[in-house]
Amino acid sequence: MAILDTAPPAHPGLPADTATSSRHESFNAAEWLVTRHALATPDRRAITAVDLDGSVRTLSYGQLEAEVHRFAAALLASGVRPEERLLLCLGDSPELLTAFLAGMRIGAVPVPVSTMLKPKDIGLIARDSRARMLVVSSEFAALAPAVGGLPDLADVVVLTNDPLPDVAGTRVRDWDTFVSAGADLLDRVAVPYPTVPDSPAFWLYTSGTTGTPKGAMHRHGSLRDTAETYAQDVLAIGPDDVTFSVAKFFFAYGLGNTLTFPFSVGASTVLDRSRPSPAGTLRVLQEHRPTLFFGGPTYYAALLSAGLPLDSFAGVRACVSAGEAFPAPLFERFTSTFGVEMLDGIGSTEMLHIFISGRPGRTRAGATGEIVAGYEAKIVDDDGQPVPDGTPGNLYVQGDSAATGYWCRTATTRGVFEGAWVRTGDTYVRSADGYYTSLGRTDDIIKAGGIWVSPTEVEERLRTHSEVLQVVVVSVPDVDGLDKPVACVVLTPGSATTTADLVSHCREGLAAFKRPRHVLVFDELPQTATGKLQRFRVREMALARIDGATIPAPLHPGAPA
């Protein structure tokens, strides 16, 4: 029986009480990520940055350290105190990393937020977090007025050469003016604020696929935890690696890919401030030669559809995927087309990065992978009892990188963080040889005709059709109030495929009770601010399209769709 899956410890030679004693060591994540490299190898490249206009600049570790000191001094000059929150809404750029690192250096709490937020959303997060400051780049400056009038927010800093926005009740300065105000306080940031691994470091707001976003609170030690587990155990990252993450920095996934992992070993990262596009990605691949590439299944599908040259990933030793389950057909098409290894994985905002992953040389299409060193996982039934291998259940995980909880969300925290265990909200099954496979989010599993149906299985079947770009399967009640699977799809541009074609495609590969009762074609499907498909909104769209749950009931039990 799959009672508990425990990977070997990341450092098996350490004494048993090392983890406990290390909680009290002096440790500042900004110093660990940058300062030690700036002292040892100041001229080593840390960042290659592609700006909105396509221009490229580079920063060494020594240069980045100096910029972090300057911004940290400016934070002190503006009155920012330890543990006060700094909202960061910037495109992926050296300035974003600088502000994030500087905040941690002085003991403040940076909060990188999605650049896809609407004004009302950033206003809500600013109020919820009681942010002291908002730092925003020019392309998102229109969001700044939404934080005006909040009692705790005193400063807005804008990375721009354009006129500054008006923000009620706050002091608004451009980046250079703000930084110059701290020139006399550089000596006060020469030594980082005396944090320890358990000190508050940063928050990440969850995507809120089914409700209001929540601030997951992370420690300084959490960054080192992910670097010493996933980055070492799975990626075996080294100082000569170059990372590039399509997933932006405000994702927990993107933060690790862009900052934690490369800077943990003195490697370098490529930042692209623009919105992801196949053309932009190809330029990065060809001109900056990343060795580790990070994306998600939806974007990998877009790259396949874009017709990139077959040698586009020639310099990449591994592609990594997370954020949603990777369909086996897409996995196989991508790896066979570009000849690059794909490492799928599951992580979460709460756990900060990936805790189950494919491993180099032993990936399995359709399976998420194996437990990462330093983590434990279990699959249990609805009563909390372990289930045998091969039996679906609720996935739980534990590891040192777990958040300490959600800011001001006591009931929600208690429902997710159960002692050392974190409830992921995913339904998984484990094979006898230790491979985990996703069956979808727990709340998304459909019971049709008294039989459980995994939306993932139906979605994977539809994705094998060459002209299906995106698909989400949701449950919609028929005229008798019984839930039935309904597929909502986005087709490739110019596709002549009909819904009848897609129904026929499903009939050839799925049991009758699993086949979608409707296949609905949309121009696009709604996503969260962090790029995940919003299944509850897709379901609302499906209900509206079929006139409010008027799916015809079968003529008799078991009748085929």
pLDDT digits (tens, 9 = 90+) for 423-434: 998 999 999 999
Average pLDDT on 539-556 reads 63
Q: Is the model's pLDDT at 75 over the cut of 70? A: yes
Q: Is the model's pLDDT at 210 over the cut of 70? A: no
Domain residue spans in the chain? Answer: 25-378, 448-545
Bridge-based pairing state of the strands 215-219 and 200-205:
antiparallel
pLDDT value, residue 319: 98
Closest by alpha carbon to 234, among 318, 323, 324, 335?
Answer: 318
Q: Is the model's pLDDT at 479 over the cut of 70? A: no
Average pLDDT on 172-186 reads 98
Q: Is the model's pLDDT at 92 over the cut of 90? A: yes
pLDDT value, residue 301: 86
Q: Is the model's pLDDT at 22 over the cut of 60? A: no
Q: How confident is the model at residue 6 (pLDDT cuts 50, 70, 90)?
A: low
Average pLDDT on 22-47 reads 94
CA 81 and chain centroid, separation: 28
- Please check whether the domain covering 448-545 is classified as CATH 3.30.300.30: yes
pTM for the whole structure: 0.82
Query: Residues near 314 by Cβ (< 8 Å), separated by ≥ 6?
Result: none
User: Which range has the worst mean pLDDT, 76-90, 375-389, 467-481, 526-540?
Assistant: 526-540
User: Which range has the worst mean pLDDT, 108-122, 232-246, 365-379, 538-552?
Assistant: 538-552
Q: Is the model's pLDDT at 561 over the cut of 60? A: no
Q: Which residue's structure tokens are 């998600």?
A: 296
Highest mean pLDDT among 96-100, 502-506, 526-530: 96-100
Pick the CATH number of 25-378 from 3.90.700.10, 3.30.479.10, 3.40.50.12780, 3.30.540.10: 3.40.50.12780
- Alpha-carbon distance of 357 to 370, in angstroms, equals 5
How many CB atoms are closer than 10 A to CB 68? 27
pLDDT value, residue 232: 97
Average pLDDT on 241-247 reads 97
CB 395 within 8 A of CB 387: no
The H or E element containing residue 441 is strand 436-441
pLDDT value, residue 324: 81
- Alpha-carbon distance of 529 to 112, in angstroms, equals 12
The pairs formed by 438-442 with CB atoms below 8 angstroms and a separation of 24 or more are 438/325, 438/346, 438/368, 439/392, 440/325, 441/535, 442/394
pLDDT value, residue 481: 62
How many CB atoms are closer than 10 A to CB 96? 27
For helices 455-463 and 328-338, give the axis angle rounded to 10 degrees.
40
pLDDT value, residue 560: 30
Average pLDDT on 265-285 reads 97
Residues pairing with 421 in the sheet: 418
Nearest-5° Cα angle at 528, 54 to 199: 85
Q: How far apart are the first and last CA of the chain?
A: 37
The H or E element containing residue 285 is helix 278-288
Mean residue pLDDT of the chain comes to 90
- Sign of the dihedral through C-alpha 207, 209, 215, 216: negative
**b/e per residue, 209-237, with b = 16+ CB within 10 A?**
beeebbbbbbbbbbbbbbbbbbbbbbbeb
Average pLDDT on 530-550 reads 76
CB 259 within 8 A of CB 100: yes
pLDDT value, residue 446: 75
Three-state DSSP state, 275: coil
Q: Is the model's pLDDT at 360 over the cut of 90? A: yes
pLDDT value, residue 15: 40
For helices 499-509 and 455-463, give the axis angle rounded to 10 degrees.
120
CB 489 within 8 A of CB 500: no
**E runs forming strands in 16-96:** 45-50, 56-60, 85-89
**E runs forming strands in 381-420:** 393-398, 405-406, 417-418
Strand order, beta sheet including 85-89:
109-112, 85-89, 133-137, 155-159, 171-174
| Backbone phi, psi, residue 291, to 5° | -100, -20
pLDDT value, residue 104: 98
Average pLDDT on 509-536 reads 82
- Alpha-carbon distance of 48 to 40, in angstroms, equals 20
- Alpha-carbon distance of 499 to 330, in angstroms, equals 21
Query: Token pair of 521, please?
Result: 């074609």
pLDDT value, residue 440: 77
Q: How confident is the model at residue 14 (pLDDT cuts 50, 70, 90)?
A: very low
**DSSP secondary structure letter of residue 553:** P
The secondary structure of 293-344 as a DSSP string is EEE-HHHHHHHHHTT--TTTTTT-SEEEE-SS---HHHHHHHHHHH---EEE
Query: For residue 296, which amino acid is it?
Result: G
Q: How confident is the model at residue 525 (pLDDT cuts 50, 70, 90)?
A: very high
Average pLDDT on 311-337 reads 93
Q: Is the model's pLDDT at 548 over the cut of 60? A: no
**DSSP secondary structure letter of residue 523:** S
Q: How far is CA 150 from CA 79, 167, 445, in A?
A: 17, 10, 41
Closest by alpha carbon to 248, among 423, 154, 119, 114?
Answer: 114
Average pLDDT on 101-128 reads 94
For helices 297-305 and 328-338, give the axis angle rounded to 10 degrees.
50
* Residues, the chain: 561
Three-state DSSP state, 227: helix
Q: Please, what's the largest Cα pairwise distance for the chain?
A: 81
How many percent of the chain have pLDDT more than 70? 89
CB 192 within 8 A of CB 220: no
pLDDT value, residue 9: 52
User: Which range has the worst mean pLDDT, 193-207, 261-275, 278-292, 318-332?
Assistant: 318-332
